[in-house]
Amino acid sequence: MSLFALFVEALSSIVREGRRIAPMAAGIAWGVAAVFVLVAVGRGFESTQRATLAALGDSFMLLRVNRATTSRGDVRSNQFVRLDSEDMQLARAGSPAVAELSPKAANWFVQVYRDGQRTRLSAIGVDPEYADICHIPLAPGSRWIDSNDIDQELPVCVLGYGAVEDLFGDEPWYGRQIEMVFQRNAADDTITRRLTVVGALVDEELAGDEIYTSNRRVVFLPFTTWERMSPEGFQFFVVRPVSPGLRDEALAELRTALARRHGFDPANKNTLIPYYDAIARGQRIESVFGALRVFLGAVGSLIMLLGAVGVANVVLMSVAARTYEFGLRRALGCKRRWIFVQVFLEAALVCVLSGGLGFALGMLGVEAMGSIDLPEGFASPRIELGAALLPGVLLLAVSLGAALWPAARAARTSVVQALHGGKL
């Protein structure tokens, strides 16, 4: 008997046994589709969270120094510490676990003018290292703040993407000037400074507009330029440890380096507060999605187990109902191995066809979910064929393994027992 004849015979048997096989096939298809959708939802959400983190920078911390006045960790009762350039020098010198450091000196919501256009932006004074610590996506034709700008206190600036829209719209911005009003020690102590735009940022943010991390409505200045216009000092700075594993060591070194000058306890962790911690956030993402992968593995294992039980049960029932047929085939000269191949081929065809149907249903489900407008924070499912095919292939392998036993029982039944309708 040829393999083609066996294939045709297996298809004929599947059609004859359709009512018995249909529930098993539906179960396999549903299992494959369910795992496919779960994997796509998990991958989509994970990729969005990682992209959101990468849009800001994935290995830095935004820090603020306090003079802690409570032992209970209530940061609202802490006193702000105003920093200056000398603090940054002390922090660099006393923190070998810190790879790079930059002030993030801010004046929030200052008035900015340009040819009749007016808006409010946050003026941020930074060092050139800021672009190496955080993700700064510059528009074509831009340049970032450099050491020459710092040394000469040049009146240059780099605009956030929202600031460009407010002040220039679709007009050219490079080399143009803006005017910024700084409020100094008192309400009537203001200074207006004219700045030349040398760079602009493009919009790559995926999270909401958050005042401490968003680059939407900011204007970056050389720190020395900012410091001359804001003599009261600043509260925030950014750091990147030598490696993520040295995060805690870097924080301890920074507390020690700044404690003596500002008179706070370096052992009190509330004196140096991460306002935004990309390292810890990345670790949480890895932990959450690691647990999700374990959960999906458990769900997939359960579906595979149920599929294997269903295949073994249905194939065994089919073989038991065809005992006389197999006995007659044996009596007419059919070899044991051909009976084994036919029974196994029937199970394989059902598994492949139902698995393919489940794969198609899963893809349709993912496409349907992707067309829905989801709230902010909810990610659209993401199809990754490698990750999605793996559960289906495993389910197919387990199901075919479950069909081996009924096929072997059918093949080893004696002719006399089969013709008498005996049990397999």
pLDDT tens, 98-131? 999 999 998 888 899 998 888 999 999 999 999 9
Closest CA to 251 of 91, 13, 49, 43: 91
- Over residues 272-292, the mean pLDDT reads 87
Percent of the chain with pLDDT over 90: 30
410 has a pLDDT exceeding 60:
yes
Domain spans of the chain? 3-54+283-419, 61-278
C-alpha R_g of the chain: 34
- Over residues 366-390, the mean pLDDT reads 68
Structure tokens at 204: 């790559």
For position 24, what pLDDT does the model report? Answer: 75
For position 155, what pLDDT does the model report? Answer: 94
For position 145, what pLDDT does the model report? Answer: 96
CB atoms within 10 A of CB 48: 17
Lowest mean pLDDT among 134-148, 176-190, 321-335: 321-335
CB distance 350 to 14 below 8 Å: yes
For position 391, what pLDDT does the model report? Answer: 62
Sequence-distant (≥ 6) Cβ neighbours of residue 373 within 8 angstroms:
none
Residue range 346-358, pLDDT digits in tens: 777 887 788 788 8
Structure tokens at 270: 């509330």
Task: Categorize the per-residue pLDDT at 367 as very low, low, confident or very high, splitting at 50, 70 and 90.
Answer: confident
Answer with the residue of higher pLDDT: 378 or 266: 266
0.85 exceeded by the pTM? Answer: no
Sequence-distant (≥ 6) Cβ neighbours of residue 26 within 8 angstroms:
354
Lowest mean pLDDT among 16-25, 326-335, 387-396: 387-396
